[in-house]
Amino acid sequence: MIKVNTQTNTASREAIPANLLGLTNHTLSNLQTELNPVPADLVNIEYWGETLVDQSVTATQKFGSEVLTVNTSTRSVDVSHSILDKTAEDLANDAAQAQAEVDELAANAREERDALLAATDFYALSDVSMSEAMTTYRSDLRSVPTLSGFPNDFEWPTAP
């Protein structure tokens, strides 16, 4: 519930006073008609529900401060955010975070590749004849980091 001054149609996010705790949402949103008499500190004050406004931003924007808009027709407060352009620092942080995510995906893929190679190492022992298909498979595993789309979208070689 958001505090609304019904005379000025302004809203603020403030806690409901202790003396009003336990009142129903209906009563809180109709204090001027439900309380008789209305305490002096609550004249023109009511607590209305909030409606979140669906907003989106582009890659070069970010959400800013909260904006509370009194909607007298629905007796609620529309909650949105200002939209700001990202700073050069924000964009650099986004790029660094994206690169860190790619680096982590690459490390995980290399770890999986290494495990797949280790699982076929016994074929490479000197007393075992490795098939051409296995040789190709192991070679393809070693080249995984050079595949198009690595590390986000690539196909693993198929084991023979």
**Residues 31-56, mean pLDDT to the nearest whole number:** 92
In whole angstroms, what is the distance from residue 82 CA to residue 80 CA?
Answer: 7
Q: Which amino acid is at 123?
A: Y
What's residue 122's pLDDT?
79
Q: Which of 116, 108, 106 is nearest to 157 (CA)?
A: 116
Q: What is the pLDDT of residue 48?
A: 95
3-class DSSP state of 46: strand
107 φ/ψ angles, rounded to the nearest 5 degrees: -60, -40
pLDDT tens, residue by residue, 117-158 = 999 887 777 677 888 999 999 999 999 999 999 999 999 999
Per-residue pLDDT, averaged over 23-27, amounts to 91
Q: What is the predicted pLDDT for the residue at 74?
A: 92
Collect all residues with Cβ–Cβ distance below 8 Å to 141 and sequence separation of at least 6: 113, 116, 117, 120, 157
- The set of residues, in sequence order, having a beta carbon less than 8 Å from that of 71 and lying 6+ positions away, is 51, 77, 78
- The fraction of the chain above a pLDDT of 70, given in percent, is 99
CB hemisphere CA count around 157 (13 angstroms) = 21
Query: Strands of 76-85's sheet, edge to edge?
Result: 10-12, 2-5, 45-52, 76-85, 61-71
The whole-number pLDDT of residue 35 equals 87
Q: What is the mean pLDDT of residues 93-102?
A: 95
Average pLDDT of the residues in 30-44: 90
Going by pLDDT thresholds of 50, 70 and 90, the confidence category of residue 13 is: very high
Percent of the chain residues topping a pLDDT of 90: 77
The answer to whether residue 11 scores a pLDDT higher than 90 is: yes
The DSSP string of 95-114 is: HHHHHHHHHHHHHHHHHHHH
